[in-house]
Structure 1
Amino acid sequence: MNDLQTLRAALAPDEPSQDVIDRSRHRLQNRINGGRTSRRRTGWLITGASLTAAAAAVAIAVIPAAPVDGPPVRTASGQEILLAAATAAERSPEGAGTYWHVKVTGADGADASSGYEYWIKPDGRLWMRGAKTGGKVAPVKTQSAIPFSLVAIDLTLEQVRALPTAPDALKAWIADAIERSDARTSAGEFTASDRERAVFQSLISLVSTVPATPEVRATAFRVIAGYPGVQNLGTVPGGQGLSLPEGERLVVDPATGRVNGTSVYVTMDGAVYQVADPGGARINAEWTDTLPA
């Protein structure tokens, strides 16, 4: 059973197995005939022998199975959701297009960051739409030949696609790149704790806003799953809500391997944006051949 099948089983609605139905039907028939079962079932009572086998089968199918009839229902863990998303991401097509398009909106549909919708070409040419452009798509004069960003790390599309696909190697590559960067905090000093958090947020960027390959995205999901404190918050609009270390949150669709919501993201210039809205922000990132008018 792979990660997706395991997660599907853990998230499936509670239904009695065929074995449970067969054993329950047998105990029900014993009761109809005046016999006794080895365990006393509470919560329902058969009064008389007029109940037909067909009606009994319907009754059993409707009544939830008692805990003694089968294994307890287990909720998928946060790690399992991330690993299932990794499997789905690995199997997804890479996608292609003229522009890499990123749009971030508030949980209620409002802009989470003024003007944070952009289209960027691999050569660095950039277009934006938002409050600053009057709601129209407009070219941005400042541009760079290394247009994609993790925390404090600028990358070309070729460098993004060449990132390591082994978990330890990917994490080490990001840590080394941050160590060699000129990253600074508002206080000036960039501590070991700051660097560790920058690595983690860069991994979030790889699964949400950077055009990484399916293999790299899958690897980033697996690295995130290895962090302690990842918790499943349950089903939310867009997928499964996850609580991550340091209080970050993601909304992940484990069936597609897409991140559809986040409380933190890396902007196109490498800055880290924390979403104040408790519901986080909706996020969509994909290749497109269309530049809206």
Structure 2
Amino acid sequence: MNDLEEIATLLAEPEPSAGAVARGRDRLQRRARAGRARRRAGWFVPGVALVAAGAAAAVVLATGAPTNDGVPVTGKEVLLMAAVSAERTPQGSGTYWHVTRQWSTSDSPSMESWTRRDGKRWSKGEPGDPADAVVPVPAWKTLSLKGAKVSFEDLERLPTDPEALKAWIAERKGNENDMSASEIQGDPTFTLLALITELPAPAEVRSAAFRALAAMPGVENAGAVEGGQRLRFPDPEGGKDIELVVDPEQARVTRANLIVVDNGDVAWSDKFISVTTEWTDRLPSVQQS
């Protein structure tokens, strides 16, 4: 067994030891540093639209060689490392769940949302919002998962075992107008991505989602880039690959070529969009509608 196979084996265990986690993390960090790529300019073509989940546009991205220090670090290993990190990352607290989606060009405004634990939401920069204003979001545009409303309490009750989580996703019923074709057929890919990108899922649920994605066929690592490791997933609907930049140390998706939006839509881009999430107690001044 080589050292990278050992990482995968150790991380696949339900409770790897602290020493095993440290050794695996050190190996991945050394390879990531050795293959650090220069920052790519111009992630995003301004004007990307939010589209119905079943009508995603094609994406084409150029990537580098999937090796670091001459030795592949597989996509599975990156996701398993992120799963271990997620388990040990405090969930955080605050009044609002704040999500920011940022384009690469300075003249392209970011899109932001703030969601309170009772489900009430505000947004800024989203399609239809007044310029530079934080506005209340209509009650029907609430957090969604696989085409159905989901509350903070629902997320906290999700299974923390990868197979149980996938079974829950397969059985979940939602509005087919807000679901992709693959979701309607029971494929968990987009739902799992939503749990690790923008939704306020608990640490254990995020870990289970990372592990479930690691077990899926076809995930590849395209190499180290700014913000983490660049991973490719096959599109379950047969389109161009899904691409994510995953920081396994922080268990975060830092950039992606699509956004699984919290109201059930999907936004695709021909380049990357950065995504940040946080708990906050501050809501900017709100413009009353």
TM-score, length of structure 1 as denominator length: 0.69
Q: Residue 93 in 1 paired to residue 90 in 2?
A: yes
SS at match of 1:12: helix
Q: Residue 76 in 1 paired to residue 73 in 2?
A: yes
1:104 to 95, 101, 105: 101
1:223 to 207, 212, 215: 212
Q: Answer with 1 or 2: which has the greater Rg.
A: 1
Q: Residue 8 in 1 paired to residue 26 in 2?
A: yes
Which residue identity does 2:168 align to in structure 1? W
Segments of structure 2 that go 5 or more residues without pairing to the other structure are 1-18, 33-68, 236-240
Deviations 1:115-162 (A, max 9, x none): 73111112122111117221122223x115x93222313211101000
Checking the alignment, whether the CA contact within 8 Å between 1:252 and 1:259 is kept in structure 2 is yes
Change (3 A) 1:110 1:5: farther
Q: Residue 281 in 1 paired to residue 273 in 2?
A: yes
* Aligned pairs for 1:6-85 within 5 A: 6-12=24-30, 74-85=71-82
Partner Cα separation in structure 1 for residue 183 and residue 202 of structure 2: 28
Please report how far the alpha carbon of residue 196 of structure 1 lies from its aligned counterpart in structure 2 after TM superposition: 3.9
Partner Cα separation in structure 2 for residue 203 and residue 215 of structure 1: 13
Change (3 A) 1:9 1:214: same
Please report how far the alpha carbon of residue 110 of structure 1 lies from its aligned counterpart in structure 2 after TM superposition: 5.9
1:174 to 159, 169, 187: 169
TM-score, length of structure 2 as denominator length: 0.70
Please report how far the alpha carbon of residue 277 of structure 1 lies from its aligned counterpart in structure 2 after TM superposition: 2.8
2:155 to 157, 160, 168: 160
Change (3 A) 1:174 1:82: same
Partner Cα separation in structure 1 for residue 147 and residue 22 of structure 2: 34
Between the two proteins, the alignment pairs up a number of residues equal to 225
Which residue identity does 1:264 align to in structure 2? L
SS at match of 1:85: helix
Segments of structure 1 that go 5 or more residues without pairing to the other structure are 15-71
* Aligned pairs for 1:145-156 within 5 A: 147-156=142-151
Checking the alignment, whether the CA contact within 8 Å between 1:7 and 1:81 is kept in structure 2 is no
Partner Cα separation in structure 2 for residue 76 and residue 90 of structure 1: 21
Please report how far the alpha carbon of residue 13 of structure 1 lies from its aligned counterpart in structure 2 after TM superposition: 5.5
Provide the alpha-carbon RMSD of the alignment.
Answer: 2.7
SS at match of 2:185: helix
Checking the alignment, whether the CA contact within 8 Å between 1:242 and 1:249 is kept in structure 2 is yes
Q: Residue 205 in 1 paired to residue 202 in 2?
A: no
SS at match of 1:2: helix
Which residue identity does 2:198 align to in structure 1? T
Q: Residue 272 in 1 paired to residue 266 in 2?
A: yes
Please report how far the alpha carbon of residue 7 of structure 1 lies from its aligned counterpart in structure 2 after TM superposition: 4.3
SS at match of 1:135: coil
Deviations 1:23-65 (A, max 9, x none): xxxxxxxxxxxxxxxxxxxxxxxxxxxxxxxxxxxxxxxxxxx
Q: Which has the higher contact order (CA 8 A, sep 6+)?
A: 2
Checking the alignment, whether the CA contact within 8 Å between 1:89 and 1:218 is kept in structure 2 is yes
Partner Cα separation in structure 1 for residue 76 and residue 31 of structure 2: 20
Report what 1:35 is aligned to. Answer: none
Deviations 1:180-222 (A, max 9, x none): 3231489xxx76675344x210100100101011000000000
Which residue identity does 2:101 align to in structure 1? V
Report what 1:195 is aligned to. Answer: 185
Aligned residues with identical type, % of pairs: 35
Report what 1:255 is aligned to. Answer: 249
Which deviates more, 159-168 or 256-265?
Answer: 256-265
Partner Cα separation in structure 2 for residue 87 and residue 264 of structure 1: 24
Which residue identity does 2:139 align to in structure 1? Q
Checking the alignment, whether the CA contact within 8 Å between 1:265 and 1:273 is kept in structure 2 is yes
Whose helix fraction is larger, Structure 1's or Structure 2's?
A: 1
Which residue identity does 2:78 align to in structure 1? I
